């Protein structure tokens, strides 16, 4: 049974001390790791340039060696050689898994490389990378399961979902992807995350009322949940302090 925390490494900004941002980020991970079983590091969310998850992940593994870490790998703006290098570094650092996804378009204008997540998993498996680290693909919260053939054929360890909206989605994902690990993503509902909720077309008020039960039932079904709270670390931290899952 696993509760994961999604952590976005600090943005790289011209008027901000990046080293100081990294220190604050690591301190937050130390705090939240006492309440979560694992963390997931993202890579350049929404295409913005951020500190590499490899760099902060290495620091975290040195500071909290027993904390399992999974990490996102954007293939949209990487060559095949860069992808293999990224995977090898993940193994070297001691990460537990890699979520391979297309990623959002780059905000710096970097051209797409033409890489495809499902084919990337196949190529990594051909080199036996999956014997050293778990490989995951992303999936919609409400997919057309008949059109997931390429992703299923790639034989990842499992799937991380988009933010789920209700327990029916979790049940459908679990039943139709029963041969795989399913890790549903759940958004922590707070006013600070309202912008994210709107982007995801979530009714924050009703979602908030059902959140705790949704989290518990999801965890009961899949045994693995990824909590995201992009703009409210304190709120989620306080929630986890007083909640038993």
The answer to whether 219 touches 167, Cβ cutoff 8 Å, is no
The CATH number of 2-241, from 3.40.50.1390, 3.20.20.220, 3.30.870.10, 3.30.70.920, is 3.20.20.220
pLDDT tens digits, one per residue of 139-184:
999 999 999 999 999 999 999 999 999 999 999 999 999 999 999 9
Residues 6+ apart with CB under 8 A from 206: none
pLDDT band of residue 238 (cuts 50, 70, 90) is very high
pLDDT band at residue 28 under the 50/70/90 scheme: very high
Instruction: Give the tens place of pLDDT for each residue, 172-221.
Output: 999 999 999 999 999 999 999 999 999 999 998 899 999 999 999 999 99
pTM for this entry? 0.94
* DSSP bridge partners of 226: 4, 185
SS3 annotation, the chain: CEEEEEECCCECCCCCCHHHHHHHHHHHHHHHCCCCCEEEECCCHHHCCECCHHHHHHHHHHHCCCCCEEEEEECCCCCHHHHHHHHHHHHHHCCCEEEEECCCCCCCCCCCCCCCHHHHHHHHHHCCHHHCCEEEEEECCCCCHHHCHHHHHCCCCEEEEEECCCHHHHHHHHHHCCCCEEEEEEECCCHHHHHHHHHCCCCHHHHHHHHHHHHHHHHHHHCEEEEECCCCHHHHHHHHHCCCC
pLDDT band at 106 (very low <50, low <70, confident <90, very high): low
pLDDT in the model for residue 91:
98
77 vs 41, 109, 120, 126, CA distance in Å? 18, 10, 13, 22
């Amino acid at each position: 049974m696993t509760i994961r925390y999604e952590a976005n490494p600090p943005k790289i900004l011209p008027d901000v001390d990046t080293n100081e941002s990294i220190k604050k980020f690591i301190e937050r991970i130390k705090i939240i790791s006492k309440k979560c079983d694992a963390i997931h590091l993202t890579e350049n969310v929404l295409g913005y340039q951020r500190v590499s998850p490899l760099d902060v992940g290495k620091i975290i593994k040195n500071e909290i060696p027993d904390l399992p870490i999974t990490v996102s790998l954007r293939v949209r703006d990487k060559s095949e050689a860069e992808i293999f290098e990224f995977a090898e570094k993940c193994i070297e650092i001691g990460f537990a898994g890699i979520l391979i996804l297309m990623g959002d378009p780059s905000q710096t204008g970097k051209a797409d490389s033409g890489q495809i997540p499902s084919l990337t998993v196949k190529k990594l498996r051909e080199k036996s990378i999956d014997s050293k680290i778990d490989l995951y693909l992303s999936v919609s919260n409400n997919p057309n399961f008949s059109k997931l053939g390429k992703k299923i054929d790639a034989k990842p360890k499992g799937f991380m979902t988009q933010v789920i909206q209700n327990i029916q989605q979790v049940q459908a994902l679990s039943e139709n992807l029963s041969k795989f690990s399913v890790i549903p993503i759940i958004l922590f509902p707070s006013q600070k995350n309202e912008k994210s909720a709107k982007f995801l077309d979530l009714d924050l008020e009703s979602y908030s009322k059902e959140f705790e039960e949704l989290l518990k039932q999801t965890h009961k079904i899949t045994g693995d949940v990824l909590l995201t709270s992009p703009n409210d670390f304190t709120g989620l931290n306080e929630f986890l302090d007083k909640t038993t899952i």
